[in-house]
Amino acid sequence: MTMKNKLARKKEIERAFKESHVLLLIEDVREDIKVAFDGITGLRDRFDSFELETRANFKAIFEYLIRIEDEIASIKMEVSKIKIGKTDWASFKKLKTRVEKVEKENFFLRSILEKKGLLAKAT
């Protein structure tokens, strides 16, 4: 490339990228970055909200399971009394009602967890 051609090419490039044009391009890029950042911030806020809601849901489920486990432990104690022969028919009927209630609660909780995909379906 000759010196004349080099100068012509340089002038052509300078004409193509005037300072105002470059500033406009920079401003466009800056705006695109701001839009992307705002989108990321929005996603982070949604994720934080989802995380808090999920933690609260799991806390409620674990508290519910603890109550069921406590009830089952109490029922086991009553059953051991029946085995020994230290109970009457009325106590046995109450125990039967409690067992049925725990079974219903367990079924209800399992169905919720299965619907949300947090527990495999019972076979």
Divide the 123 residues of the chain into consecutive groups of 10 and give the mean pLDDT of each group.
73 67 83 91 92 87 83 81 73 82 84 77 63
User: What pLDDT, on a 0 to 100 scale, did the predictor assign at position 1?
Assistant: 63
Q: How far apart are CA 104 and CA 96, in angstroms?
A: 12
User: What pLDDT, on a 0 to 100 scale, did the predictor assign at position 44?
Assistant: 92
Q: How far apart are CA 92 and CA 8, in angstroms?
A: 104
User: What pLDDT, on a 0 to 100 scale, did the predictor assign at position 49?
Assistant: 92
How many beta carbons lie within 10 A of that of residue 96, not counting itself? 12
User: What pLDDT, on a 0 to 100 scale, did the predictor assign at position 14?
Assistant: 65
User: What pLDDT, on a 0 to 100 scale, did the predictor assign at position 23?
Assistant: 78
User: What pLDDT, on a 0 to 100 scale, did the predictor assign at position 31?
Assistant: 92
Q: Considering the domain boundaries, does residue 120 fall inside one?
A: no
Q: Considering the domain boundaries, does residue 122 fall inside one?
A: no
Phi-psi region of 10 (alpha: psi -120 to 50; beta: other; left: phi over 0): alpha
The parent domain of residue 78 ranges over 3-115
User: What pLDDT, on a 0 to 100 scale, did the predictor assign at position 101?
Assistant: 86
- Cα separations in angstroms, 90 against 34, 94, 95, 113: 72, 6, 9, 35
Q: How many domains does the chain have?
A: 1
Q: Considering the domain boundaries, does residue 86 fall inside one?
A: yes
